Amino acid sequence: MQFLTFIGFTALVAIISYYKTRNTQDASTDGYFLGGRSLTAGVIAGSLLLTNLSTEQIVGLNGSAYQSGLSVMVWETLAAIAMVVTAIFLLPRYLKGGLTTVPGFLAKRFDVTTKTLTSVLFLTGYVVVLLPVILYSGSLAISGMFDIPALLGVTHTQSIWICVWAIGIIGSVYAVFGGLKAVAVSDSINAIGLLIGGILIPVFGLMIIGDGSIMDGISTLTSQNPEKFKSMGGASDPVPFYTIFTGMMLVQLFYWGTNQQIIQRALGAKDLKEGQKGLLLASFIKILGPIIVVLPGIIAYHLFQGSLESADSAYPMLVRKVLPSPWVGFFAAVLFGAILSSFNSVLNSSVTLFGIDVYKQHINKDADEKTIVKYGKIFGVFLAVAAMFIAPLIANAGTLFDYLQEINGIYSIPIFSIIIVGYLTKRVPAIAAKIGLVSGCTLYIISQFFMQPYFVNKALEAAKIAGVTDKDSLALVAAQAYPHFLDIMAILFTLNVAIMLVIGKIKPRKEPYLQEYTKQVDITPWKYTKHTGIAICVIVIGVYIYFA
């Protein structure tokens, strides 16, 4: 019954997506990469949420909540504010320039080499880290919910390989052969199911805790686990409270405002009004995020008494425990859709970056749009296959969500810094952007992969010599031995911007940069953008203060 429900809902989404996109002209770059610049607010909002709410988010963040409690909700609450900033500041500039890719702006503002370096950084991050993590975390969830090892008589490792290739092949068909519109339409359908199913998981969990009463469940959960309901993280938590004011907001602004896999949805808007409404609708719904990606982790901690060997198994184990059997197939199908969403969104963005910024720019400058799309698709197939081979090999990567966020810092802050300087200044030259990219990446790698292990190991050795053996005490020693990676991001962002501004003073551009209006879409803003944005920010701050 579970499998029939799973297959039925998955097939329904595929059929609707095909029907809705069968007439899209995907032989052109706009048609394939941006859905023909025809996306409306509802489709943009649904696609944004599903691209973000995949298993590395649902499984990973609930795993962090299982370990550390409510303090990790900051990843959700601050996202809403970042989307508001994107809607008001960045999106009007993107659409005014008629951009297909974020690096496309850098070619106009700085030079082609800067654009290519940025595209290569994006692609490297997607291939080496993001795509394999999405595939692995998705396979972990599906394998756990259906108990694939027992069902098929295979080992846990074999079940991961099976799920990885199933997800990868289906996701590739959506992304490589359907283009952005197929991705966005399937996302929107799955968004509804994910919101319903995502809310039902904590509801059923609270009912089990409260013997049928949700309110009794909340009362029991909060009274018996008070340490899990502190929204202000301590020094040893994944997100200490003070990091909100250092690197956290920078990470959020990069992710929602400049990350190609996310912002590509808004770039496909039919006009600025629809793009802004889509971003603001998604940001409002994002406020409900902690109910789906944090609360279940705390419920799992209570129900399993903190006995699970892996924090990342908390969510799939909770789903199996609390959902009525017929619902498991439906929710697995929705979660499968969320997994596909992130996978095919990253893959589609990678195909876009390669086709526009690498193939057309450096391999075949005379290529027509049909040829660009063709070779972009070929690149997407190779990319997908590579990710499917790499994914099962990252089983020992540690807590997935924290690992993913830290690794992403290699390219996120350097790229974000040059985009911000590019828009806010007129005379900073291309050489400054290149130095900013190289220095930002190099310094972050040295900091996190050489200096941090050295200082943490030294501190732990000293603590053990002093007789410290308690696990929590050692964790605190490790956390205090070196600045948090979000602090490092803030330091390097400030340093990058300062370097670029100094170079701009010493050797400015001969002519100031002026952005031209390409008239690809209407850029008349939605008249309620600022009012709605302020209201969302007030709600976010209120929610955070209430739980503090």
The three-state (H, E, C) secondary structure of 46-80, written as one string: HHHHHHHCCHHHHHHHHHHHHHHHHHHHHHHHHHH
The residue with tokens 């097939």 is 11
pLDDT 10s digits, 127-151: 777 788 888 888 887 887 777 888 7
User: Each residue of 285-333: pLDDT tens digit?
Assistant: 888 888 888 899 999 999 988 778 777 778 888 888 888 877 777 777 7
Give dist(CA 5, CA 148) in Å, integer.
16
State the Cα–Cα distance between residues 415 and 437, nearest whole angstrom: 7
* Domains with residue ranges and CATH for the chain: 2-12+27-547 (1.20.1730.10)
Rounded CA separation 171/342 (Å): 9
What SS3 state is found at 240? strand
Please give the sequence-ordered ranges of beta strands (E in DSSP) within 159-267, or none if there are none.
none
Neighbours of 512 (CB within 10 A): 9
pLDDT score at 391 = 81
Q: Which of 200, 229, 222, 203 is nearest to 214 (CA)?
A: 203
Q: Which helix (H) or strand (E) holds 187?
A: helix 156-209
Within 10 A of 542 (CB to CB), how many other CB atoms are there? 11
Above pLDDT 70, what percent of the chain? 85
* b/e sequence 168-198, b meaning 16+ C-beta within 10 Å: bebbbebbbebbbbbbbbbbbbbbebbbebb
Residue 523: what pLDDT?
84
Question: How many residues appear in the chain?
Answer: 548
pLDDT at 276: 92
Placement of tokens 């959960």 in the chain: 221
Question: What DSSP designation does 6 have?
Answer: H
Q: Look at residue 141 in the predicted model and tell me its pLDDT.
A: 79
Q: Pick from 397, 385, 381: which is nearest to 165 by CA?
A: 385
* Nearest residue to 274 via CA among 95, 24, 58: 95
Sign of CA dihedral 60, 285, 193, 264: negative
What does R_g of the chain's alpha carbons equal in angstroms? 23
pLDDT for 88: 93
Per-residue pLDDT, 443:
92
Q: Are 56 and 133 in contact (CB under 8 A)?
A: yes
pTM of the complete model:
0.79
| pLDDT tens, position by position, 36-54 | 566 788 888 877 877 677 6
In angstroms, rounded to a whole number, what is the distance separating the alpha carbons of residues 170 and 229?
39
**Low-confidence stretches of the chain (pLDDT beneath 70):** 1-38, 51, 54-55, 174-191, 231, 233-236, 341, 344-345, 348, 395-403, 548
SS3 of the chain: helix, strand, coil, percent, to 5: 80, 0, 20
Predicted pLDDT of residue 180: 47
Provide the sign of the torsion angle of the four alpha carbons 444, 446, 448, 451, taken in this order: negative
Q: Which two tokens stand for residue 96?
A: 């005014």
Contact (Cβ atoms closer than 8 angstroms) between residue 500 and residue 110: no
Phi, psi of 517 (to 5 degrees): -90, 115
Q: What is the 3-state secondary structure (H, E, C) of 85-100?
A: HHHHHHHHHHHHCCCC
3-state secondary structure 251-319: HHHHHHHCCHHHHHHHHCECEHHHHHHHHHHHHHHHCCHHHHHCHHHHHHHHHCCCCCCCHHHHHHHHH
pLDDT of residue 37: 65
Q: Residue 345 class from Cβ within 10 Å (0-12 exposed, 13-18 middle, 19+ buried)?
A: buried
